[in-house]
Amino acid sequence: MSDLIADLAHEFRSQKTYADRAMAPLSADAFFQRPGPAVNPIALIVKHLAGNLKSRWYDFLTADGEKPTRDRDAEFVLGPDDTQAGLLAAWERGWATLFDTLAGLTDADLDKTVTIRGEPHTVRQALVRGYGHAAYHVGQIMYLARLFNADAPYQTIAPGTSKEHRPGYRKA
């Protein structure tokens, strides 16, 4: 695995960990709470990102990232079968698909061309695009989780503690 792929895998894992920790203490009510009519609840963000990860990263090098089996619009609708446990299981499967794909990539793959919705990208571009998309939605999850659980511990450096922080990139 190249340094770039290893660094991106580390950062993707960090994003997943932030979201997982933010969601862990939430009740089902908070998980499904819609803070406004045009604001997605955490449940729909999880559903969407799970669908995106599965579609983009399965058969990554050989098939378009927008699989014909994906129904993106349905990712923004809660149905009667959408339980917190079921959505979180799909979330785990989506992330596993990503991490399995990253584990199989090499330096030789970085300049290969893949397609996303018919648009060509180098693998390097697709990795960066995917990371940006995941980080955006993880930020939404973290914000909403903080909104619904204001006393939760900070997942990053808490306000007023910057001077106490010591860098520890990639430390266990």
Q: What is the CA radius of gyration of the chain?
A: 17
Q: What whole-number percentage of the chain has pLDDT above 90?
A: 85
**pLDDT tens profile 6-24:** 999 999 999 999 999 999 9
| H or E stretch at 92 | helix 84-104
The residue range of the domain holding 78 is: 3-164
* % pLDDT > 70, the chain: 95
CATH of the domain at 151: 1.20.120.450
Q: Please, which pLDDT band fits residue 172 given cuts at 50, 70 and 90? A: very low
Number of domains within the chain: 1
Q: How buried is residue 163: exposed, middle or buried, by Cβ count under 10 Å (0-12/13-18/19+)?
A: exposed
Mean per-residue pLDDT over the chain, rounded: 94
Report phi then psi at 115, rounded to 5.
-120, 145
- Tokens 């180098």 belong to 122
Residue 169 belongs to a domain: no
Within a domain: 155: yes
Is 31 part of any domain? yes
For the cut 70, the answer to whether the pLDDT of residue 168 exceeds it is: no
Q: Is residue 70 part of a domain?
A: yes
Q: Which residue has the tokens 């520890």?
A: 168
Is residue 33 assigned to a domain? yes
With respect to residue 170, please indicate whether it lies within any of the assigned structural domains: no
Cα angle 11, 12, 13 (rounded to 5 degrees) comes to 90
Helix (H, G, I), strand (E, B) or coil at 41: coil
Q: Which residue has the higher pLDDT, 109 or 154?
A: 109
- Phi, psi (5° rounding) for residue 122? -70, 160
Residue 88 inside a domain? The answer is: yes
